[in-house]
């Protein structure tokens, strides 16, 4: 092979990621699409089970209550996913539960007016109603910013350079849910991590009927094998005399979901009673809604690239945020116990399978709704140890973060200005939330600890989010530091045509509303 000269090596920037067999508007066969949709449903179970597990016992709920909250969260996740893929951004994204809401929710849990209730069940219901009221009120933030097009206007200040730290940290910022959780049960987590990487990458060329079986279904195959292995360890008595923490992370029979789940139960609005409204709770929850907005914006940018689509125009982005606000309103009405955001792990799975089809995600939403009503069957899949999901997150969160770094191709990284902005925003985006986490772990409360609880929740929530800190720092620096002279260096010419719906002919193919609804809602 002849030597290649450096000047002959070219990697031109591409506004659409190549190498996908199925992109946003192309679909695999129905059988393959159903299997892929089920795979996305299994992945969504991790967050749907973990958030209620963290919260329900702390607020006086029982295993029966936890099962109902898990079912409700999955049911509303399915509805919100369908609404987003049909009428929102139309990107193949799962809209699931968000950890960003934990800070204001924990503040509600520790409200003296609720905490002093001696009856655990009444305290649980009182807390759920307070969370519902706060979500209903705070959802107005995204609804207003979305449907008024204000967020679309704001997004026009986002350059490829400014989005690099934000999208990268929506993946990297979740590192604590990766290997630190795998380490809680290494005998399950490490084999899962190795098997998933081997199947999806090293064995991806193994085909069955022209389908790259191991690459396409690596998640399902790996989870099935390791789940079976974990169950053998459980029934074989491997954890019989181990500490409680180890048993909770390793055993397959400690979720207490299957025995508590009803055979058929359909979640319905106001099932916990009438919501209660408190101004302090609502203001604190608004911070989580803003964090969800930022993190979802970054995830939409990543999903567009991993669906081999063009960056969503400002109008489409606003439309998606508006529908996400409707989703948080539904969370409040049904009582999911938390708010909604784009599921980062499901975005990563688009890249792992190289299938960015919208239909696949809509099928997964159907599975969420179906299995949330058939309690026993849904609880069976939800009993998968969370350590298994954490091993998968190590790969999928990293993929999403890498998509953020891929935006560097549109910028001049030989510019000291750009190096400064990217380096400082990524570092602070990781360092500031880590400070807030360490402070909260040591002191039992966040750095903001004044008599105004809503102010504490607002500050502690916003600055605990890596993507939000990165957005504040990167966008501010990018739009104030020599920005007029640096338009080409920061990549604006690449994205300027995606500011409007008609700026690029491909936008109509990817983002037009179904059923000819664009007649009634013409894009700007």
Residues ≥6 apart with Cβ < 8 Å to 243: none
Measured distance CA(439)–CA(430) in Å, rounded: 15
Helix (H) or strand (E) run with residue 493 in it: helix 492-495
3 state SS of 465: coil
Tell me, yes or no, whether 197 lies in a domain: yes
Tell me, yes or no, whether 358 lies in a domain: yes
Per-residue DSSP letters for 286-315? HHHHHHHHHHHHHHHHHHHHHTT-PPPPHH
Tell me, yes or no, whether 516 lies in a domain: no
Measured distance CA(6)–CA(418) in Å, rounded: 24
| Domain that residue 74 falls in | 30-492
Helix (H) or strand (E) run with residue 96 in it: strand 95-97
φ/ψ region of 491 (left if φ > 0, alpha if ψ in -120 to 50, else beta) reads left
Tell me, yes or no, whether 63 lies in a domain: yes
Measured distance CA(34)–CA(148) in Å, rounded: 36
Tell me, yes or no, whether 502 lies in a domain: no
3 state SS of 378: helix
pLDDT of residue 521: 62
Give the chain's length: 524
Tell me, yes or no, whether 8 lies in a domain: no
Q: How many domains does the chain have?
A: 1
Query: pLDDT 10s digit of each residue in the chain, 524 long?
Result: 457 777 666 778 887 788 888 899 889 999 999 999 999 999 999 888 889 888 887 888 888 888 899 999 999 999 999 999 999 999 999 999 999 999 999 999 988 888 888 888 899 999 999 999 999 999 999 999 999 999 999 988 899 999 999 999 999 999 999 999 999 999 999 999 999 999 999 988 887 778 888 889 999 999 999 999 998 988 888 888 888 788 888 888 766 677 677 778 889 999 999 999 999 999 999 999 999 999 999 999 999 999 999 999 999 999 999 999 999 999 999 999 999 999 999 999 999 999 999 999 999 999 999 999 887 777 777 778 899 999 999 999 999 999 999 999 999 999 999 999 999 999 999 999 999 999 998 888 889 888 888 899 999 999 999 999 999 999 999 999 987 778 788 988 888 888 777 777 788 888 888 877 776 666 66
pLDDT of residue 452: 86
Q: Measure the CA dihedral 271/272/275/276, to 10°.
A: 170
pLDDT of residue 520: 64
The alpha-helical segments, DSSP class H, found in 217-313 are 218-235, 244-250, 279-306
Tell me, yes or no, whether 265 lies in a domain: yes
pTM of the model: 0.94
Tell me, yes or no, whether 512 lies in a domain: no
Query: Max Cα separation, the chain?
Result: 80
């Amino acid at each position: 092979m002849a030597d290649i000269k450096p000047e002959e090596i070219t990697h031109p920037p591409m506004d659409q990621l190549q190498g996908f067999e199925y992109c946003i508007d192309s679909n695999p066969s129905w059988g393959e699409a159903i299997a892929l949709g089920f795979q996305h449903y299994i992945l969504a179970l991790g967050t749907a089970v973990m958030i209620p597990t963290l919260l329900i016992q702390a607020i006086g709920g029982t295993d029966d209550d936890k099962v109902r909250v898990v079912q409700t969260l999955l049911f509303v996740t399915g509805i919100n996913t369908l609404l987003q893929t049909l009428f929102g951004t139309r990107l193949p994204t799962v809209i699931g539960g968000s950890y960003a809401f934990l800070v204001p929710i924990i503040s509600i849990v520790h409200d003296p007016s609720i905490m002093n209730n001696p009856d655990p069940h009444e305290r649980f219901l009182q807390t759920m109603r307070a969370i519902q009221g706060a979500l209903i009120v705070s959802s107005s933030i995204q609804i207003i910013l979305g449907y008024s097009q204000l967020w679309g206007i704001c997004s026009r200040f986002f350059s490829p350079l400014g989005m690099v730290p934000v999208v990268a940290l929506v993946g990297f910022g979740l590192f604590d849910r990766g290997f630190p959780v795998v380490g809680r049960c290494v005998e399950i987590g490490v084999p899962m991590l190795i098997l998933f990487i081997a199947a999806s990458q090293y064995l991806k060329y193994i085909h069955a009927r022209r389908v790259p079986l191991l690459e396409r279904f690596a998640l399902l195959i790996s989870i099935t094998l390791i789940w079976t292995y974990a169950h053998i360890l459980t029934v074989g008595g491997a954890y019989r005399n181990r500490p409680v923490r180890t048993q909770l992370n390793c055993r397959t029979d400690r979720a207490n979901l299957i025995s508590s789940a009803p055979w058929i139960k359909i979640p319905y609005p106001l099932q916990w009673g009438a919501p209660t409204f408190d101004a302090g709770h609502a203001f604190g929850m608004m911070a989580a809604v803003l964090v969800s907005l930022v993190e979802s914006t970054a995830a939409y940018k990543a999903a567009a690239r991993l669906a081999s689509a063009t960056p969503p125009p400002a109008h489409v982005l606003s439309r998606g945020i508006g529908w996400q606000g409707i989703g948080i309103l539904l969370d409040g009405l049904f009582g999911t116990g938390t708010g909604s955001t784009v599921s980062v792990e499901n975005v990563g799975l688009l890249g792992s399978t190289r299938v960015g089809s919208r239909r696949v995600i809509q099928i997964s939403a159907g599975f969420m709704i179906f299995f949330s009503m058939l309690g026993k069957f849904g609880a069976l899949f939800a009993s998968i140890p969370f350590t298994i999901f954490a091993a998968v997150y190590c790969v999928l969160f990293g993929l999403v973060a890498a998509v953020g770094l891929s935006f560097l191709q549109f910028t001049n990284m030989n510019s000291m200005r750009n190096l400064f902005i990217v380096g400082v925003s990524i570092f602070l985006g990781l360092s500031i939330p880590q400070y807030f986490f360490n402070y909260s772990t040591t002191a039992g409360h966040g750095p903001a600890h004044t008599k105004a609880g809503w102010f504490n929740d607002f500050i502690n929530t916003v600055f605990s989010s890596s993507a939000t800190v990165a957005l504040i720092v990167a966008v501010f620096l990018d739009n104030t530091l020599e920005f007029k002279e640096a338009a080409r260096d920061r990549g604006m010419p690449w994205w300027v045509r995606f500011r409007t719906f008609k700026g690029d002919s491909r936008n109509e193919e990817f983002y037009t509303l179904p059923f000819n609804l664009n007649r009634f809602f013409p894009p700007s």
